[in-house]
Amino acid sequence: MDFSTTERVLTVRKLAREFLTREVEPIESGIAAHGWSGLDERLAPVRERARETGIFAPHMPEELGGAGLTLLEQAQLSEELGRNLLGHYVFNFAAPDVGNMEVLHAFGTQQQKERWLVPLVRGEIRSTFLMTEPEHAGSNPVWMSTIATRDGGGWVLRGHKWFATAADGASFAVVMAVTDPGADNPYARASMFIVPTDAEGFELIRNISVMGHVGDGWMSHGEVMLHGVRVPDENMLGPSGDGFKLAQTRLGPGRIHHATRWIGVCEHALDMMCRHAATRELSPGRMLGTKQTVQEWIAESRAEIEAARLLVLQTAWKIEQHGEFREDVSLIKFHVANTMQRVLDRAIQVHGALGVTDDTPLAFWFSHERAARIYDGPDEVHKAVVARRILKAYGLDLKSARGDD
Ligand SMILES: Cc1cc2nc3c(=O)[nH]c(=O)nc-3n(C[C@H](O)[C@H](O)[C@H](O)COP(=O)(O)OP(=O)(O)OC[C@H]3O[C@@H](n4cnc5c(N)ncnc54)[C@H](O)[C@@H]3O)c2cc1C
């Protein structure tokens, strides 16, 4: 395996770091005073300048206006961007746009790419992804009520979705809906559609309050009703019945992007932890960092971050070399999310009361990123995927074996 840092990665990381320090950190540090509202407007001119750096939409090919980085290179850049609260959004590398771009690029028709993908890559519009429904367990994605029925030359969508990240202000939604409820294979029952958010019957009911924070724009999570929204045939994304196939394609690299962003969060938190430990006096001349407990937190965090990074880079490398590695992707999903929670928790503890204020990004990350153990599949589901593959090698097939439940 070779995931050494190439010249190109060193260059793009340096470029991103300098840009974020110069252009974004002043906005980031003003969030405590000014709040999260209206960030889209404040960041619009910054995103325009980020586009000129040549590393905007780093995951998209250059001919579309992206930077054309490989998955491994994206992973290493993503960590740099993740150190800043706004880094991924500023460089047009944030969920759900990043996943929607990947799906449109892989499966969109020429017409869909021109209409939706090109402006999305250029950062001129935003998008959202509608799969989860409040009435059904999202961890069992084949169970959904949103239905698309044939109507003349198109489809009519009816359903109720929530946790549609960035729905507020999005121009279109990629929607999962059941098109063939009678299909024997439950994974062949749903299809994906591109639904303009200004279509008649598309209602954003509310931006959901998450951990005491009602975001707007790109920082929101919406509840949406589809009241018989009509879309033409050409708005189906990929073949009919292939919704889950497309969703899986979206989630593989998506989990690499998330995990590397979380490693960036960890690095930022550890840096803050060390600075505070080295400068905070418990009594005149006696630094916090002289306490063995604090030293232990620093050492454990360093070891856990290094291990998490290697695991993610190994997964990105395997995907690049051999295609999808479901077990590895599940491993990094729960492992890195939990590493991040532990490192953030230690960093907050080291900062004392300051750690729970909004004067530093730690409290926001700690509360908001608690969701990392839930979105894109809860820990328990990913652990079951890993254990199932391992136990199969020992002759226990958990798909057919009887368990407690
Ligand atoms: C911040 C955030 C952003 C999100 N963004 C989007 C988005 O943009 N678009 C979208 O469509 N969805 C989005 N989601 C939804 C997310 O994908 C779902 O929350 C997730 O799939 C889990 O579904 P659920 O919430 O319905 O939990 P449920 O499926 O009801 O599960 C509840 C709990 O049960 C346990 N559990 C579930 N299955 C198992 C199992 N097999 N074994 C053991 N325990 C189990 C887990 O502990 C789980 O947390 C987002 C969620 C969050 C929190």
Residues contacting residue 383 through CB under 8 Å, at least 6 positions apart: 330, 334
130 Cβ inside 6 Å of ligand 1: yes
208 Cβ inside 6 Å of ligand 1: no
Asked if residue 103 lies in contact with residue 109, where contact means CB atoms within 8 angstroms, the answer is no
211 Cβ inside 6 Å of ligand 1: no
Average pLDDT, integer, range 112-135: 98
**For 188-224, what is each residue's pLDDT tens digit?**
999 999 999 999 999 999 999 999 889 899 999 999 9
**For 291-326, what is each residue's pLDDT tens digit?**
999 999 999 999 999 999 999 999 999 998 888 788
CA 127, distance to chain mean position in Å, is 13
Angle at 290 between CA 286 and CA 293, to 5 degrees: 135
Average pLDDT, integer, range 106-128: 98
Average pLDDT, integer, range 119-145: 96
Task: Provide the mean pLDDT of the chain.
Answer: 94
pTM of the model as a whole = 0.96
Grade residue 388 by pLDDT with cuts at 50, 70 and 90.
very high
pLDDT at res. 402: 63
Burial class, 237, CB count within 10 angstroms (exposed 0-12 / middle 13-18 / buried 19+): buried
Distance CA 56, CA 103 (A): 18
pLDDT at res. 57: 98
Asked if residue 222 lies in contact with residue 168, where contact means CB atoms within 8 angstroms, the answer is yes
Asked if residue 54 lies in contact with residue 67, where contact means CB atoms within 8 angstroms, the answer is yes
218: CA distance to ligand 1 center in Å?
20
Q: What are 391's two structure tokens?
A: 């136990």
Residue 184 has pLDDT above 80, yes or no: yes
165: CA distance to ligand 1 center in Å?
13
164 Cβ inside 6 Å of ligand 1: yes
End-to-end CA distance of the chain: give it in Å, rounded: 40
The minimum-distance atom of ligand 1 relative to the CA of 371 is: 53
381 Cβ inside 6 Å of ligand 1: yes
374 Cβ inside 6 Å of ligand 1: yes
